[in-house]
Amino acid sequence: MRLIRMMLLAVLSLSSLCAMADETVAVQKLTQLLNQAQTITARFSQLTLDGSGTQLQETAGQLALKRPGLFRWHTDEPMEQLLVSNGDTVWLYDPDLEQVTIQTLDQRLTHTPALLLSGDVSKISENFEISHKEGGNVIDFILKPKSKDSLFDSLRLSFRDGVLNDMQLIDSIGQRTNILFLNVQMNEALDDKQFSFDIPEGADVIQE
């Protein structure tokens, strides 16, 4: 019996070491892919489904990202919204409501998914358990937050030929948000002015 227990412990230890090695490789590959794009511009198409797969919302728009921590997401009409961050402050502007919400940028990657694409990813392994799988020219990364107060339960990032292709977030009630990135351009010069926001005259301002 002692020999069997020793063999089982050895197998479990080997499995643990293999899992750690696999995660190290996943972290290295994801970090390399993210860091190769210091700026990103793209069109996006976003689809939100509930836990049963019923469509809740479909939107599209344009995004611009710049390291470290600058992003601009503009959702097209008829559900137009503008989300802008200069790395410290976030402005959310709703033209229909003529309302601007201002808050300090939460630097935690588990609370601000946009920072995965535009922020400092050196601490990504501190925030997530990461696995990956490769098939042909596509590589998928599955990120599971280590923090219990994350906004999502899992996040998948997919790259095709080394270029960001799509993202999927799943929350605690099974709601899925799928974001497809189109016409992705990397490392083009971007003016920092587009990552600040001037509050329109007459707009209601909510400071959080």
pLDDT at 6 (0 to 100): 52
Which range marks the domain in which residue 79 is found?
26-207
Q: How far apart are CA 41 and CA 4, in angstroms?
A: 57
Which residue is associated with the tokens 């935690």? 108
Residues 64/139/33/86 CA torsion (nearest 10 deg): 30
Q: Are 49 and 176 in contact (CB under 8 A)?
A: yes
Give domain status of residue 16, yes or no: no
Give domain status of residue 139, yes or no: yes
pLDDT at 14 (0 to 100): 38
Q: Which of 73, 67, 22 is nearest to 190 (CA)?
A: 67
Which pTM was predicted?
0.83
pLDDT at 21 (0 to 100): 53
Q: Name the phi and psi angles at 43, rounded to 5.
A: -85, 155
Give domain status of residue 53, yes or no: yes
Q: Please state, as a whole number, how many other Cβ atoms lie within 10 Å of the Cβ of residue 169.
A: 18
Q: What is the CATH number of the domain that holds 125?
A: 2.50.20.10
3-state secondary structure 16-83: HHHHHHHHHHHHHHHHHHHHCCCEEEEEEEEEEECCCCCEEEEEEEEEEEECCCEEEEEECCCCCEEE
Give domain status of residue 4, yes or no: no
**Span 20-66, pLDDT tens digits:** 557 889 999 999 999 899 999 999 999 999 988 888 899 999 999 99
The total number of structural domains in the chain stands at 1
Q: Which of 71, 74, 108 is nearest to 89 (CA)?
A: 71
Give domain status of residue 188, yes or no: yes
Give domain status of residue 119, yes or no: yes
Give domain status of residue 193, yes or no: yes
**Span 91-102, pLDDT tens digits:** 999 999 999 999
Give domain status of residue 104, yes or no: yes
With a pLDDT cut of 90, the percent of the chain lying above it is 62
**Span 163-183, pLDDT tens digits:** 999 999 998 888 999 999 999
Average pLDDT, the chain: 87
Q: Are 23 and 29 in contact (CB under 8 A)?
A: no
